[in-house]
Amino acid sequence: MNNALLQSIQSPADVRRLSRSELHLLAGELRDYLLHSVSQTGGHLSSNLGTVELTIALHKVFDTPNDRIVWDVGHQTYPHKILTGRRDRMGSLRQLGGISGFPRRDESEYDTFGTAHSSTSISAALGMAIGARMKGEHRKAIAVIGDGAMTAGMAFEALNNAGVAGADVLVVLNDNDMSISPPVGALNRYLARLMSGRFYANARDTAKSVLKNAPPLLELARRFESHAKGMVVPGTIFEEFGFNYVGPIDGHDLDALIPTLENLRQLKGPQFLHVVTKKGQGYKLAENDPVAYHGPSKFNPAVGIKPAAPGKPTFTQVFGQWLCDMAEVDTRLVGITPAMREGSGMVEFESRFPGRYHDVGIAEQHAVTFAAGLACEGLKPVVAIYSTFLQRAYDQLIHDVAIQNLPVVFALDRAGLVGADGATHAGNYDIAFLRCIPNMSVMTPADENECRQLLYTAFLQDHPTTVRYPRGKGTGVEVQQAMTAIPFGKGEVRRTASPSTGSHGKRIAILAFGTLLYAALDAAERLDATVANMRFAKPLDGELVAELARSHDALVTIEDGCRMGGAGSAVLEALQEAGIVIPVLLLGLPDQFIEHGDPAVLMSKCGLDAAGIEQAVLKRFGGRPSLVRPAVHQ
């Protein structure tokens, strides 16, 4: 792998010194380095291969970091990271203590805004542009946003504001969902350069000045310009927002990108550049299957991704199978996803029930209220959504679903820590922000089989429900295909401690919420503790809590969510209402954002593995011999 030119790049200042021919060589080396680097660490690939030339062109033309580039979502910023002094750290990508897979302000001055959720870039860039204007500073603000992110309402809210604010902001639409069509050729390149040039801008402003006293002629001129541009470009809608639209141009053609960006850099006011790129560009396997190569694990670039070996199903697969099975027996079921078909396990459902499948785009707010509308008509919507993305629709959750007590089922994938994607994607807060909502129920299955049965239980209810489950595989328990409703709001005792040994020991009861049940059971073998599988964070099984409190000397709650306001807090509230005073230890995620890294390592660092649970109990309640049993060796 020859990357001699790339090795000479320590910052974008080095990029700006290169000739056009050297930039073409740099693009080849950067793409090659990117492919081999991600194959060693895993991470987002297709989207990053598609932004190589665009990244080079942006850093070539703009004076970064003085000029601000905001990358929407940010999973396409690996070329940006490599060119901004982090090439030698790419081997630590998404690993504990390593660099993030998304932009982070505390990682580099070139990461001007932290991102990972979609459709925030235009708002942030506009704020930066207005801020520079208020301070009298001359700099450009650029938002790079994908066509998928443009489906979210927030992006259009920002466009609407930017058009009237008149700030010097450039929106670059990275359109990678369509092939480069015939209009994106020599003629279109010429037109893009013409429309982004100062002559065209000055002529347009002069015409407006001359015709402003003749409104009918001015309106005629505006319509002529709009229709003339509309014949060759699809930019009328962005012009209506007050932007000067340029494009579409080939996002892999540096000879088109650089002069067009240079022209746009000279213009005042809101500018909009439409570039067309191809996911996986330059690596045929990713070009042919960009979805498979969106976020691969480690692989051999010469061979490609190997099919996963059959094994125990993931929670996502369990949900997908349940969804299809439930749809077979109940025609009221409707499946909804905000642009996460593959990630939420809905590929088979779409294939088998296309008329009952709705991908609403990256529009979580719309997804929730859309489901509410369906429920009003007697249908049974199931919204498959990541825990971290449900946060974006909190108002709709309360106002449109819960207040009206509509029977919408929320299947919350990626609950708890998610590992390599880090704090922006972790589902740490759902128990806390859901259980405080009236009419809402929150279910926490302990394993794959219980996940299926609780999904069925949720579907049977006549009010809003959520079932939260983690990313990846569980313990490998057998998943029963028959669906059996679990008694609503009831937990179960899975292990009972030995009778009390008197004043020299304490009987401990561990109340486990979710998949940490199995770590709790392991710890309980050493502690000789009772373990309850609580199943429901709301409604909480208050009778079981009171029973365990009266028969034990102390309680321990454990959850893979935030401690503050979580399931442990619900237990404290129940004890207070029952007038029971007993020592309680709350175990859960700490009041801090958890970094990216291996999930098992992160859980251990948070003290939520079996060893951590045991140590926390011993530290709080003492390590008396009568409390601790010898470890059981298998």
Q: List residues with catalytic annotation.
A: 279, 364, 392
Q: 320: which residues sit within 8 A by CB, 6+ positions away?
A: 344, 345, 346, 347, 348, 349
SS3 for 555? Answer: strand
What's the per-residue H, E or C state across 379-411?
Answer: CEEEEEEEHHHHHHHHHHHHHHHHCCCCCCEEE
The DSSP annotation for 404-435 comes to TT---EEEEES-B--STT-TTT-B-SHHHHHH
Q: 585: which residues sit within 8 A by CB, 6+ positions away?
A: 554, 555, 556, 557, 616, 617, 620, 621
The whole-angstrom separation of Cα 385 and Cα 387 is 6
The whole-angstrom separation of Cα 462 and Cα 558 is 29
The sign one gets for the Cα dihedral 497, 503, 505, 507 is positive
* Whether 529 contacts 510, CB under 8 Å: yes
SS3 for 84? Answer: helix
Q: Which two tokens stand for residue 414?
A: 């990626």
Q: Which two tokens stand for residue 367?
A: 């997804």
The whole-angstrom separation of Cα 217 and Cα 594 is 60
**Can you give the C-alpha Rg of the chain in angstroms?**
28
Amino acid identity of 40? Q
The whole-angstrom separation of Cα 504 and Cα 511 is 23
The whole-angstrom separation of Cα 453 and Cα 460 is 11
Q: Which DSSP category does 121 fall into?
A: H
Stretch (H or E) spanning 247: strand 244-250
Stretch (H or E) spanning 511: strand 508-513
At how many degrees (to 10) do helices 20-41 and 254-266 cross?
A: 110
Amino acid identity of 141? A
Query: What does each C-alpha distance from 316 to 226, 347, 407, 528, 562 come to in angstroms?
Result: 47, 11, 22, 34, 22
Q: Which DSSP category does 386 fall into?
A: E
Name 246's bridge partners: 273
The whole-angstrom separation of Cα 593 and Cα 426 is 9
* Whether 466 contacts 434, CB under 8 Å: yes
* Whether 481 contacts 325, CB under 8 Å: yes
SS3 for 302? Answer: coil
Strands (E), 24-165: 68-71, 141-146
> Could you report how far apart the first and last alpha carbons of the chain are, in Å?
49
The whole-angstrom separation of Cα 631 and Cα 629 is 6
* Whether 430 contacts 387, CB under 8 Å: yes
